[in-house]
Structure 1
Amino acid sequence: MKARVATSVALALAVAFGTAGCGFIAPQATTKHYDASDGVSGSVGSVDVRNAIIVTNAKNGTVGNLVVTLVNTDSKSHRVAISAGSQNSSAAHVTLEPGQVKQLGQNPENGGPSNVLIPEFTTKPGALYSVYFQYGDETGTKLQVPVLDGQLPEYSSLVPPTILPAAQ
């Protein structure tokens, strides 16, 4: 009788481990980070850079519109410098309050403070373009940002003007 119970328990354990065993050795896809959209992501200290893309006009694009979401996960403000092309180029600055989520590039026509427009942009859609993010004494991060055009409906409203308005 004891042998039959022991055999039944051993068989039940073998079936349980056999049917769930792949969870022990197979990598879990939910634990791997990936960019769920066309953009790329990274982080600088307490600032997360999410879904960065550059949108330009495919035919005669001379301006690039950096579309990105910045997230400050810190309890203090940070002034983020964004340099397109190289970290030595002139930088646009964006101030993030504690816990703030700021979307840049959503309205390229007005050229306001929530835009980072790249003048003299000649990179064609389909290529990658270097964009450098940094603040304070934190080590910055350089992302290879994909360049897209407005042919897809979701990007058509993000195409910048072909010529930037004169600075006032």
Structure 2
Amino acid sequence: MKARLAASAALALGVALGASGCSMITYQATTEHYDASDGVSANVGDLDLRNILVVSDDGVDGTLVLTIVNNGEDDVDLDVQVDGGDTVTIPVDAGATVAFGVDAAEDIDVVEPIVLEGIGVDPGSLLPIYFQYGSAEGVEKQVPVLDGRLPEYESLVP
């Protein structure tokens, strides 16, 4: 009788561990950051740059699309440099969220997208863009270049 009870308890313990213990050894994909849209993301100091992409039909000129969230307490001027070329400066107020060329919620400032001239990268390629402000360490991202075939991007073609 005792052997039967011990075997039942051991079997129940084995089933309980087998059913619940897999999360201890299994890779958890939900802990990994990913970009849920077509663009890429970056962090520069107190700035969160989200869904960065360029829209171009001919690869000559492109529209920079992104959302910037300033989590800091100071206004900043974000410098954006495309593949070693000219620098575009974007002012971002402290605590503000600014969306360039995309529809956004009421509390987000939506401004006209930035046209980058002479990018020289065909749609479907990646364009190196460097982001930096003040003394914060900058970051270079490989930004996807898309064309206007998708309805959400057709109005953004320069």
Same fold (TM over 0.5): yes
Instruction: Give the % identical residues.
Output: 45
Which position in structure 2 is the counterpart of 1:95?
A: 91
Distance 1:14 1:126 in 2: 52
Deviations 1:14-39 (A, max 9, x none): 11110122211111111001111111
Task: Specify the code of the residue in structure 1 equivalent to 2:87.
Answer: A
Residue 3 of structure 1, CA deviation = 5.7
The 5-angstrom pairing of residues 9-158 of structure 1 reads: 9-58=9-58, 61-86=59-84, 89-106=85-102, 114-158=112-156
| Number of matched pairs | 151
Distance 1:137 1:157 in 2: 36
Distance 2:34 2:97 in 1: 20
Could you state the TM-score of these two structures normalised by the residue count of structure 1? 0.80
> Structure 1, unaligned stretches of length 5 or more?
108-112, 161-168
Residue 84 of structure 1, CA deviation = 1.2
TM-aligned CA distance change 1:154 to 1:9, over 3 Å: same
> Structure 2, unaligned stretches of length 5 or more?
104-110
Distance 1:4 1:13 in 2: 14
Residue 6 of structure 1, CA deviation = 4.7
Deviations 1:31-74 (A, max 9, x none): 0011111111111111111111100124xx53110101111112
Distance 2:96 2:122 in 1: 32
Deviations 1:106-128 (A, max 9, x none): 49xxxxx6432111233110111
Could you state the TM-score of these two structures normalised by the residue count of structure 2? 0.85
Secondary structure of 2:121's aligned partner: coil
Task: Specify the code of the residue in structure 2 equivalent to 1:143.
Answer: K
Distance 1:42 1:2 in 2: 62
Distance 1:147 1:3 in 2: 69
Contact 2:82–2:119 (8 Å) recurs in 1: no
Secondary structure of 1:65's aligned partner: strand
